[in-house]
Structure 1
Amino acid sequence: MSHPESPDRADARLNWARAATGDEGLQLQRASVDAGFRSYWRAAPEAAGTPASVIVMDSPPALEDVRPWLRLRELLERGGVRVPRVLVEDVEAGFLLLEDLGGPTLAQVIDADNADTHFEAAIDQLLKLQAIAPPEGMGEFGEALLQRDAGLFEEWFLRRHLGLELDCDDSDRLELVQRRLMDNALAQAQVLTHRDFMPRNLMPVQPGPAVLDFQDCVRGPVAYDAVSLFKDAFLSWPLQRVDGWLARYHERAVAAGVPVPPLARFRRDADWLGVQRHLKILGIFARLHYRDGKTKYLPDAPRFIAYLDEVLPRHAELQPLAELLDARIRPALARIPA
């Protein structure tokens, strides 16, 4: 098994890239890395003889099968979604040569002044994605996946990170809210769902933005990707602007024939899916930290607590979670050294 950071894998990656490009002098430099095992490498600008900048995706077969990525890329491209072009592929070795979409992601260029323009373009791509019929056999954002997501929060964030063991009353509170969140997700109209449709997975190119990290698409609730876009894991906006962008997405979704409910119900669905997603991400970030040694994610945990603080007061049905947050979670967070 070749880990992407091992010398053997580095040698194999460089040799493959040189053969794929026909440039024996080509050198690679790290472009980005996934939370998984995929990594991305750019032909160094100073590499002599490189006709154009390209990206090598390294997906070690024993750790991260590249075939789901390729299948979803083709599905999205057929539906008109802007995705990276594949120039050369070697599925057995786990290497792809891709067009270079540039350095910064949307997360790195978006700001308060240009956000409306960038999000309008992102909605363009999202509506194209949601218009694609999920293929037969595609995974579903169903009971099993929702139960797994709920378990991440309790196992990794509450127990491992905060050291909390919930008593019966606290467990009942959390279980009640998790059940309500799951029922809400399962009751929504189902469409093709990216599950991480957020600015760091969008590249600001024309036409575009280009959509990245789509290999985990499922058949899922219609509000999920919209709330992921505007309530990002790494970038926060004032709630009033988020509500406005959700209303704009809803307006355009209705016009495009996407099966969204009336606006008031859609707002509720988006809020509740946001809460479900925020709890899941807290669990994932804690797991990345403690199990995988990836320490850059967990410092963003306060962002998700702030999201919960914004939304929970709107919904009486979610107050048991607000009570748990105040009684147990916030005091435990305060005990963790900064």
Structure 2
Amino acid sequence: MADHDLRRLPETFAQIALSAEDDTRRLANDIAMVIRKGDVICLSGDLGAGKSTFARALLRAFANDPELEVPSPTFTLVQTYGFDRFDLSHFDLYRLEEPEELEELGLDDLLAAGAALIEWPEKAEALLPQGALWIQIVQPDGAGDLREVRFFSKNAEWEARIGQTREIRAFLDRADFGGAKRRFLAGDASLRTFETVAVEGRLAVLMRWPFNADAVPEAVRAYMDRVHLARDCRSVIAIGTELRRRGFRAPRIQAADTGRGLVLSDDLGRTTLVEAGVPVPERYFAAVEVLAAMHGEIWPKSVALDNGTDYVVPDYSTDALIAEASLFLDWYVPEVSGKAVDPETRASFETVWKNTLERISEAQTGWVLRDFHSPNLLWQEGASGMDRIGLIDFQDTVRGPVAYDVASLLLDARADIGPDLERSLFEAYVSARKNKSGDFDRTGLEHAYAVMAAQRISKILGIFVRLARRDDKPAYLSHLPRMLGYLDRVLDRPFLSDLKGFYASIRS
């Protein structure tokens, strides 16, 4: 930063007036929601300007702990907090004697593990990262409690991020959630982020799902198109609304701004089908009941939205199914073999899958939620019947073989489902379907289930390696043994002997 005059920041991209401490805390909360690993936030201002209030509020919001002790690091110079999202280090450089002392505090190492909030950054002069966000709090003379907050960064991305989080705050104000406390909930493998918002005892989940085609690599866009991944929040609104209309427990939409990709919906809790990583059979059987009921419905090809448009549910085409299964070749096989798959093997893989899928072309089709497994099935304690299972993460719903979702549940990618439990759940599903339709085709289901299970497992093995290697999420590798065990179990079915032989050849 070329100019550290506390009264002037160069090229300020935003200025916000604050009239009370609550405004300061709310702004800190908003900024805490967009901090990423590796970020540096420089907080400047005269003594008494409100830096300490801002810093404590930001740290508490980031920690999701309003009672977090936040001692001033005036004498220690730095205090590092280990949070679930990532570490956050709080610096106070007021007593820094020489700028070079910053190197002794290990800023670079701390940024490798998290982010940094730095008070009195002027003391470090040019040793701070060029892309840092500078926040200056100014108290105009004679203005009482009035503060002005100014933002500057040489990294243009910060202007977009600050604008986005302020946009969310304005959306919450319009949705009757003014003053809500925002807490980071999750980010997923797509562009979506989730927060919980709370005000006056009311809870909701906020999803932000922007889609800027220019910001997505062409290869990623091509894959999304090929496998029919949704690109905007219209799918969430359409699918969720129709599920609720049919009596299924999808979150009620409280407010939405489709143009900005914002959806505020009911909070169905965090309790899934597992406890301490172990499947709870009662909950899985309840999920089977829901799935069987869904597969007894005739679902529409398109859903009308309140804005007058229609959301068309895409078909789960053979091309899409093969493209997903091919992630096994793209990521898993190179991971274990150390080399890319040759074109001949890829062509043979696609041929064997095309032939296998053709053999179940007469299988029942309908809506396929595509990730019908424990992370997305929320147990509703005290509810009864189908209300016991809350449904989320259904934005990529397609029209295809319904056996896919049966396999997704019974061979849960996030929990160990043993052969006995799998068989019991399968029989429960068959029984529920037979009760609704006397001519239910069990053999057809068994074949479609085996094929869809093999396809999904292949896809997931590739996705988990991709998340570990491309997206720096190595924890996903711990799920590979489970998925490989499922794959061996599925391929042992006589119906898949051709597929088993081919997989044996490429895994050897």
| TM-score, reference length from structure 1 | 0.83
Where 1:187 maps in the other structure, the secondary structure is coil
Matched, 1:59 2:209: yes
Residues 283-294 of structure 1 aligned to structure 2 (within 5 Å): 283-294=462-473
In structure 2, distance between residues paired with 1:111 and 1:155: 31
Q: Kindly tell me: are residues 7 and 157 of structure 1, through their superposed partners in 2, closer, same or farther at Cα, counting changes over 3 Å?
A: farther
Contact 1:236 1:303 in 2 (8 A): yes
- Alignment RMSD, CA only? 2.8
Q: Could you tell me which residue of structure 1 aligns to residue 327 of structure 2?
A: 152
In structure 2, distance between residues paired with 1:235 and 1:259: 33
Q: Could you tell me which residue of structure 2 aligns to residue 91 of structure 1?
A: 258
Residues 300-315 of structure 1 aligned to structure 2 (within 5 Å): 300-315=479-494
Contact 2:316 2:398 in 1 (8 A): yes
Q: Kindly tell me: are residues 27 and 168 of structure 1, through their superposed partners in 2, closer, same or farther at Cα, counting changes over 3 Å?
A: closer
Q: Could you tell me which residue of structure 1 aligns to residue 164 of structure 2?
A: 9
Where 2:206 maps in the other structure, the secondary structure is strand
- The structure with the larger Rg is 2
Q: Could you tell me which residue of structure 2 aligns to residue 32 of structure 1?
A: 186
Where 1:89 maps in the other structure, the secondary structure is strand
Residues 270-285 of structure 1 aligned to structure 2 (within 5 Å): 270-285=449-464
Q: Could you tell me which residue of structure 1 aligns to residue 301 of structure 2?
A: 135
Where 1:289 maps in the other structure, the secondary structure is helix
Contact 1:193 1:222 in 2 (8 A): yes
Instruction: Note the C-alpha offset of 1:297.
Output: 2.6
**Partner amino acid for 1:321?**
F
Instruction: Note the C-alpha offset of 1:92.
Output: 1.6
Which range is displaced more, 288-297 or 237-246?
288-297
In structure 2, distance between residues paired with 1:109 and 1:14: 35
**Partner amino acid for 2:288?**
I
Instruction: Note the C-alpha offset of 1:216.
Output: 1.2
Instruction: Note the C-alpha offset of 1:242.
Output: 0.2
Contact 1:106 1:199 in 2 (8 A): yes
Where 2:501 maps in the other structure, the secondary structure is helix
Instruction: Show structure 1 runs of 5+ residues with no match.
Output: 328-338
Matched, 1:242 2:422: yes
Which range is displaced more, 180-189 or 75-84?
180-189
Q: Could you tell me which residue of structure 2 aligns to residue 251 of structure 1?
A: 431
In the TM superposition, what whole-angstrom CA distance separates every residue of 1:89-123 from its partner, at most 9, and x where no partner exists?
Answer: 111222222111112333457845x41x2123212
Q: 1:122 aligns with which of 263, 278, 287?
A: 287
**Partner amino acid for 1:14?**
R
Which range is displaced more, 131-140 or 268-277?
131-140
Instruction: Show structure 2 runs of 5+ residues with no match.
Output: 1-32, 37-160, 214-230, 303-311
Instruction: Note the C-alpha offset of 1:74.
Output: 1.5
Q: 1:20 aligns with which of 172, 175, 178?
A: 175
Instruction: Note the C-alpha offset of 1:171.
Output: 5.0
Residues 152-171 of structure 1 aligned to structure 2 (within 5 Å): 152-159=327-334, 162-166=337-341
What fraction of aligned residue pairs are identical, expressed as a percent?
A: 26
In structure 1, distance between residues paired with 2:402 and 2:439: 7
Q: Could you tell me which residue of structure 2 aligns to residue 227 of structure 1?
A: 407
Residues 251-270 of structure 1 aligned to structure 2 (within 5 Å): 251-257=431-437, 260-262=440-442, 264-270=443-449
Matched, 1:216 2:396: yes
In structure 2, distance between residues paired with 1:150 and 1:127: 25
**Partner amino acid for 1:197?**
F
Where 1:186 maps in the other structure, the secondary structure is coil
Residues 65-104 of structure 1 aligned to structure 2 (within 5 Å): 65-104=232-271
In the TM superposition, what whole-angstrom CA distance separates every residue of 1:226-276 from its partner, at most 9, and x where no partner exists?
Answer: 1111101111211122012111101111222398522x4423331221111
Contact 2:403 2:452 in 1 (8 A): yes
**Partner amino acid for 2:209?**
S
Q: Kindly tell me: are residues 284 and 312 of structure 1, through their superposed partners in 2, closer, same or farther at Cα, counting changes over 3 Å?
A: same
Structure with the largest fraction of strand: 2
Matched length: 317
In the TM superposition, what whole-angstrom CA distance separates every residue of 1:45-67 from its partner, at most 9, and x where no partner exists?
Answer: xxxx5231222111124374111
